[in-house]
Each structure stands twice: as structure tokens, then as C-alpha cells.
Chains A and B, each alone.
Chain A
Amino acid sequence: MHSFWAVFKRELKSYFTTPIAYVFLVIFLFFSGYLTFKQGFFEMRQADMRAFFMNLPLLFVFMVPSAAMRLWAEERRVGSIELLFTLPVTVTQAILGKFCAAWLFLVIALALTFPMPITVCYLGDPDIGMIVTGYLGSFLMAGGFLAIGCFFSVVSKNQVISFVLSVVACAVLVFAGRPTTLNYLSTFFPAGLVSVIETMSFQTHFESIQKGVLEFKDLSYFILLIVGWIAASSIVLDERKAS
């Protein structure tokens, strides 16, 4: 457990000792605000955060892989992976330590959007429950995207390649659930297959949590997704750490 904490602490610190954290936070906060107001936050005349949460999947498609791409690609490129795995650290401890640090970093980014709920509360009387579940959904979605990013970071030594691959994988999982995609797919795929694609998409599960409905199927979707991609990362890393 101490190895997990050591890796976790080092990783989280490394975000803030390099400009990565600050560049990431500024860009994330700017776009999360910009997209919300561009979407017609005031025109809706409703005190809720729908406009904010609606754009989050799209923003996460680009932002989360950019936070995840360095996790292992950098470590393998610089060679510090040799140092890490000749210290008494297991692959699982290292993967989980880094993943949790990156996840906490994303939680900090999400927490810094606090002026948004404050604004909404100031302007009207919003449903706090919906805001809380919205944030919970965003937290789980960040974890899901991060697990995918972590996997592709293990697969390639090159950060650009790992970024592009994870953006594509995340985008597929988001856009697969959009009505336009589903309508198009239903023109040539049987209904059963279309509904399978819909259930596998981030969008569907995120939207249902964001509406304030906490269902077991949505929670288990995100948990399975995270566990699955993290387990795959561990297996691949164990095989490829020295290559």
C-alpha cells in the first residue's frame, strides 16, 4: 500500500511541478465556461446546469487524453520505468497509483468549476440533487476516459500516438450514443445491434445520471469500463515494460 501512495503522491505532484497542470486547468476552465454560455445559458431562463454538463463529454474527449497521455508513454520514453520497476513496486500498485493521481487531478479541475453552481444558485433556485448527480456523472466519465487514455499510454511510447488513439477511442464511445449516429446506424443495422451500440456509449449513461437518476446499470457501466481498461493496461504494461 505504501508503494501505491508513494507513486500516487509523486504523480500528483509532478502535474503541479510542470506547467501541465496550469495549462490544462486554464484551458479546461475557459472552454467549460465558454461552451456553457455559448449554448445559451441565459436564454434558457432556467436555473440549472444542463448547458454546462451537456458539453462536458465533448470537452473531455480532448482534455482527458491530454492529461493521460504522459502517464506511461513518458515514463517509457525517458527510461524512468526501469527505475520504478526495480524498486519494490508491483505493476498493479504503479498503474493504480498513477491512475488515481490523474483522476484526482481531474477532480480538482472539475471542482474549480465551482463558480458555475454558485452562479446558478445566485440566479435562481436550482435542483441541487441534479447538480450533484451531474458532477458525479462527470467524475465517473472522467475516470472512464482516463482509463482508456491510460491504456493507450501503455501501448505506445510516443505521447502523440497515445493521445490520438485515446481521443479516437473516447470519441467513438461518445458519438456512438448520439441520436444522429444512432439514426444513421439504424438504416442498415438491425434494431438489436443499434441498441447494443447505444448501451455501450458513454453518452447514454452520462445523460441518465445527469438527469438525476442514479441507476445501477449506469454506475456499473462506468465501474466495469474503468476496471476493464485498467486491468488491460496492467497486463500490457507487465508484458511491455522493458521493450
Chain B
Amino acid sequence: MISVKELRRSFGPIVAVDGVSFEVEKGQVLGLLGPNGAGKTTAMRMLACFLKPDSGTATVCGHDILRNSVEVRRSIGYLAENSPAYNEMTVGGFLEFVCDVRQIKGKDRKRALDRVVPMCSVESVYHQTIETLSKGYRRRVGLAQALIHDPDVLILDEPTDGLDPNQKHEVRGLINSMAKDKCIIISTHILEEVEAVCSRTIIISKGRILVDSTPKELKEKYKCSLEEVFRKITKSKVA
């Protein structure tokens, strides 16, 4: 469902993503792992058509990110790093706006809201303005926004960042429950999360893919915890 070919993007002299290629199929949950500044967010922003690559391309659900970016954005749900939203809007108003843009009308809209609001546990803050929400609730509103049109592809940039342990558990449960019939990419540097939800993991550093494997295989190969595997790989291969 997602096919990335030689994606490359630099900011001035800094190469953020350096010729990254991979494919993700339906039913897979891909965890993008990497130290800070590894290029995870840049890669995700390019897939979500927010940033244009310098070279290379990608297709999402058969649509090219450069030639058919509106179609790509229609078929994905994207949660950005800091779950940006319109602060002066209420949660309800904000979700209605997303429905407007995504052309979810009438009964479909009601059904979508009835599904997504309890799913992301935002009922209690539905009439509150977004600027008054805690980080955890903002994140959940961001997640609700990304799931409202029930997309086939989900791109979630650090979905559990800022959530308390209970909320983290809920979000992971949510991702697991959707994993079967969607294609999901999440970025994180919480390694227990990778073990809990990802069926495959790609470790990137300095814009390059270092490892493309499954969490289980990695642990078996290196015979240690995922955290140690991460340290070994990112330190030795980058140096």
C-alpha cells in the first residue's frame, strides 16, 4: 500500500532523509525508529505530502505523492508530531471542520463522530476549546482527526508522546485493533511500544535505513533487549 523509492530531502547542508526506500503492505504496523534528528519526521511529512522530496518519490494506495498529492492526503490519516490544531476551536467544532474538508456529510458524519469520539475518549472534552486541553487530550484529538474518515493508511508521528501510562496502553490497544485491515506507520523512540504494536521495524539514523527487520528477529539475532539492539545499531553503524 505504501511504496517509497529513493526518497531524499535536505535542509541546506543537512541531509535529513538520504535515499530511503521501503514498502509497507496492508496488515503491517511499521515502527520507524531512530535517534533524534534521524529523519523520521521528515520522511513522514514527505509521505503525508507536507514536504516535497528533493528527489525520489513514493506511492500511497497507488497515488503518487508528487503528482497526485490531494488523492494521497484523502486516503491517509496523519497525526503530526505536536498534534497541531486550531486552538480557539472546540473539539467538536474542530472535528466538524475536518469532516467538512474530508466531505463527510449527513448520516456519515454522525456515524463517523459516534465512532471516533468514544474510540479516542474525547467525549468529556468535546465542548472544550482545544487551547485548554492537556497534552494528552490534544494528542487524542489529533488521533480522532486522523481516524475520522477511517483511512486505509495511517501515519502517526509519536502517537503516545505526552500520554500517561493508561492512555499509552489504550492507544496501543487501538493501534493493535486496527492493525489487521490497515497499513500503519508509527514513529517512536519508545522501544517497548515497538514490541507492543509493531510487526516490523526500520531503524534509521542520519537519514539512512540501518536495519529493516521485525522486533522478534532483532532480539533473536542480537540476543539482547530491543533497547540494547537499538544502541548497538545506531552507535556502531553510524560511527
Contact = CB atoms under 8 A, between A and B. Distances in A.
A6 B102 CA distance: 9
The 4 closest A-B pairs by CB, nearest first: A6-B100, A79-B84, A86-B48, A6-B101
A90 B68 CA distance: 11
Contacts of A82: 45, 50, 80, 84
Interface residues of A, number: 25
Contacts of B45: 82, 242
B127 to A, nearest CB: 13
B146 to A, nearest CB: 9
A3 B101 contact: yes
Contacts of B76: 86
A96 to B, nearest CB: 14
A87 B85 contact: no
B100 A2 contact: yes
Interface of B: 45, 48-51, 70-71, 73-74, 76, 78, 80, 82, 84-89, 93, 97-98, 100-103, 145
Given A80-B86, A86-B80, A242-B50, A9 B100 contact: yes
A242 B51 CA distance: 6
Contacts of B73: 86-89
Contacts of B71: 88
A50 interface: no
Contacts of B84: 78-83
B85 A80 contact: yes
A5 interface: yes
B101 A17 contact: no
Nearest to A243: B11
What is the predominant secondary structure among interface residues of chain A facing chain B?
Answer: helix
Nearest to B76: A86
A4 B103 CA distance: 11
B80 A83 contact: yes
Contacts of B88: 14, 17-18
Nearest to A238: B52
A70 to B, nearest CB: 11
Contacts of A5: 100
B50 A2 contact: no
Of the candidates B82, B100, B102, the one having the most CB atoms from chain A within 10 angstroms of its own CB is: B100
Given A14-B88, A242-B50, A87 B80 contact: no
Contacts of A18: 88
Contacts, number: 66
Nearest to B105: A2
Nearest to A80: B84
Nearest to A79: B84
A10 interface: yes
Interface string A62-88: 000000000000000011111101111
A17 B131 CA distance: 13
Contact of A241 (B50, B86, B87, B102): B50
A164 B93 CA distance: 32
Contact of A17 (B50, B89, B97, B100): B89
A89 B102 CA distance: 9
11 contacts: A2-B100, A6-B97, A9-B97, A14-B86, A79-B84, A83-B80, A86-B49, A87-B98, A88-B70, A88-B74, A89-B101
Given A86-B76, A86-B78, 12 more contacts: A2-B103, A5-B100, A6-B101, A9-B97, A9-B100, A10-B100, A18-B88, A82-B45, A86-B73, A87-B73, A87-B102, A89-B70
A90 B101 CA distance: 11
Contact of A78 (B51, B87, B100): B87
A142 B82 CA distance: 36
A166 to B, nearest CB: 22
Contacts of A85: 49-50
Interface string A1-33: 011011101100110011000000000000000
Contacts of A81: 84
A162 B78 CA distance: 30
